A and B are shown apart, each in its own frame.
Chain A
């Protein structure tokens, strides 16, 4: 028995994407070549770009394909920073993904940038008053404001439209990797300057994502060599992956409302069951509006790596905060930003439910949960060193 409850990490690829990928991979041609084969592949890429732009409420030329969401986020952060040499402040939230926080920290260490972190309220959204104050006091120093559309560990959707209003003329980037395809996301309507979306979170293949960037804007590139994507991103276009990305996005958005209802019902069922079988559990993912499938829960007196190991031996896949490069688990910075103590953050799990999950799977998880938590508590002995 295996039960996959880690859809926010990556989602199962859907059949439409596999079919699109299979067909496109058999096709010869570099989309940048001028000959017959090149033109044919280019047409596929541009058809995909066009369709994707409609799905996201953008203009086709606003889509810059990249190799990953991380790359798109790096391009946004570094690109805006380098594009504005007279502005050295980068504003992000304290619970951004590492693909935002790490490039900002790198710019702080190497390029003289200054990072301003917007705190998180108990409701799991950024503190807009704090942002207002920062913009009022330092607006002309800010190169970019980057706030995620929804948080990957809590599911909470951020007030992006209000952020854009507060920002005024300051560029606003949003990491929409968790939102696109799952909840309403319209680039033009939000009026952000740039947004990151990724294929593998919505049933597309790994290795393809996009930075959506308003027309007419320039960004300093991170990768040089060929200038394939608006002279902003270089590298041979990954045509099969791009085509499959669009196929996955079409499928996800066509089914979005149904999926949302189905997943949210499963989530509510799971949370209600969890509270019954582990009475002292505390649920951190309580925001509304939110992604439908994210449950974040603290199991006092445990360590997340023990919980994950025990769930894994039961065939259940979940996750916790991120790990360092050597794989050492770290307390989630998201939960710490939310105000949890390090030990509570370290005792927390993220369960992310997707379309493939069933009620019977949730029942099976709930059946083993009390024993898993009990064993994790047994293992949590404060080391008796002397």
Chain B
């Protein structure tokens, strides 16, 4: 096959490209420039967006022996990921920009361009597996539980997944580093990326405050009694306990947690741990990574709501426009906007965006 390898400059995508070449594919390396001004998103040795990273990616492509190009996706990234991140926060939701980037950039803008140019698909260094099964080509968790990235890929529909290649899913990260070294890829010891790539400081709250302002608002309890003030409701996370700056202690002295963020009134609602309990989740914008589950019928599976969260046993039902999940055991703290991913064992069934919880 003719494949485009998306190369971030990190070790995973470099080894993925090398493996694709070794598997006999005709591979071209592409580094995505995600900022029109690379200095703006400069982030030292992290995952993407710096001049150094584009040079690292180029060097890896040279060592592997494949052509290398830089594709300017700055506009698409800004409009599709960064702006969306801001607007979601400003509406009181908690988005996951990596999900969004996979859905709108890596396996949409890049895949479409690749196909237009006459390529068959895109190779990335994500830790997930594609297996041929009786029901078609399905996505499964990567075997390294600490690196598994199937969660952030669950926004890809079957058509996108048909053009997706994840050569690293059958290997643990430590072995990838050893392999990178054996292959002479000097990025072998480059640190993993963790933070959001366009928030180079890692200070998510500060980055949001700079862009959305820091209007003072109230922190209230569930009855509406004012307990303190905050500087920007969107800098709080559902389930957050520390740093609330509440001066009035709870009657029983128990800790209080963020329960709700109300952007319209710029209010943060806090309460007890029990009040965070969620046993029903409704997600909208469903995307199916394989065959669509029979509509309006209960299915058993696992729900996962964070990239490395625990899979929670559940019963789910899809209505066409929504996925409704009933958890066997409650989870504590879930924000609207988070990704809801449904698994059948290790197979990714599909995903939705958390709209509401009970």
Contact = CB atoms under 8 A, between A and B. Distances in A.
A, B assembled together:
yes
Interface of A: 305-306, 308-310, 312-313, 323-329, 375-381, 383-385
A383 B80 contact: yes
- Chain B interface, DSSP helix/strand/loop, else mixed: helix
Interface of B: 28, 31, 33, 36, 38, 50-51, 54, 58, 67, 69-72, 74-76, 79-80, 104, 108-109, 112-118
Best-surrounded residue of B28, B31, B79, B116 (most CB of chain A within 10 A): B116
A377 B69 CA distance: 18
A378 B51 CA distance: 29
A383 B111 CA distance: 11
A239 B118 CA distance: 49
Contacts of A384: 108, 112
B69 A309 contact: yes
B67 A328 contact: no
Given A326-B54, A384-B108, A376 B117 contact: yes
Nearest to B36: A328
A264 to B, nearest CB: 32
A385 B116 contact: no
B316 to A, nearest CB: 26
B46 to A, nearest CB: 15
A385 B80 contact: yes
Nearest to B70: A327
Given A326-B33, A379-B112, 10 more contacts: A305-B71, A308-B69, A309-B67, A310-B118, A326-B70, A328-B72, A328-B74, A377-B116, A379-B116, A385-B104
A384 B112 CA distance: 10
Contacts of A378: 115-118
A323 B70 CA distance: 10
A244 to B, nearest CB: 28
Contacts of B70: 305, 323, 326-329
Contact of A313 (B67, B72, B80): B67
B117 A306 contact: yes
Best-surrounded residue of B38, B74, B117 (most CB of chain A within 10 A): B117
Best-surrounded residue of B31, B38, B104, B113 (most CB of chain A within 10 A): B113
B113 A379 contact: yes
Contacts of A325: 38, 51
A377 B117 CA distance: 8
